[in-house]
Amino acid sequence: MLVVFIYGPAASGKHTIGELLSSKLGLPLFHNHLTVDLVSTLFEFGSDDFINLRANIWLQSFAAAAQAQQSFIFTFHPEKTVQVDLLPRLQQIIEECGGAVQYIELICPDEEVERRLPSSSREQFGKLRDVELYRVLRKTGQLDFSGLPSAHLQIDTTQTNPEGAANAIEQYLAGISKSN
């Protein structure tokens, strides 16, 4: 059982690469923004109720997948409202059922993030599209997250297109499966 945990800043290509990888590997894509969208229908983003419900959905989803031995791809945007102990708890759930988590970091400089933010493709999930708001969030530390694990693989999405990134992840995963 494997969780391909793709993380990176806004507009770094997590969803696009996750979709391509999902198609290549035949694994479901658990796009974190779907949880954010669901929870924000009930509670204001960042409120205690929002934070707790989002965490519970992630924990229960990871536990159900681990118990069913269902591998999947998960996308994650690091930011301050995520509980620092949540990622280790998610990983522990997977490992206790004999699975593994492979962390894939997408790197994208702020200038490129700002260029990509207004894209109409980001509208589908109600994603952040306002460059000025992004700058404020970055400046005030709202996009900081100290609980990130070390990446098993890093991909600069300014140097690699989405198809190339998905191929690189697929090749990396094939390499680690051969060594196990």
Please give the helix or strand (H or E) that residue 7 lies within, else none. strand 2-7
Q: What is the pLDDT of residues 11-57, one digit of tens each?
A: 889 999 999 999 999 999 999 988 998 999 999 999 999 999 999 99
Distances (CA, A) of 114 to 58, 97, 118, 132, 138: 28, 40, 8, 9, 11
Asked if 79 and 142 count as a contact pair (C-beta separation under 8 A), the reply is yes
Q: What is the pLDDT of residues 63-104, one digit of tens each?
A: 999 999 999 999 998 899 999 899 999 999 999 999 999 999
Q: Look up residue 136 and give its two tokens.
A: 């404020």
Give the pLDDT score at 83. Answer: 92
Q: How many CA atoms lie within 13 A of 152 on its CB side?
A: 17
pTM above 0.75, yes or no: yes
Asked if 71 and 1 count as a contact pair (C-beta separation under 8 A), the reply is yes
Determine which of 109-113, 122-126, 143-147 has the lowest per-residue pLDDT on average.
122-126
- Domain range for residue 156? 2-179
For the chain, how many structural domains are there in total?
1
> What CATH number has the domain bearing residue 87?
3.40.50.300
- Is residue 123's pLDDT more than 90? no
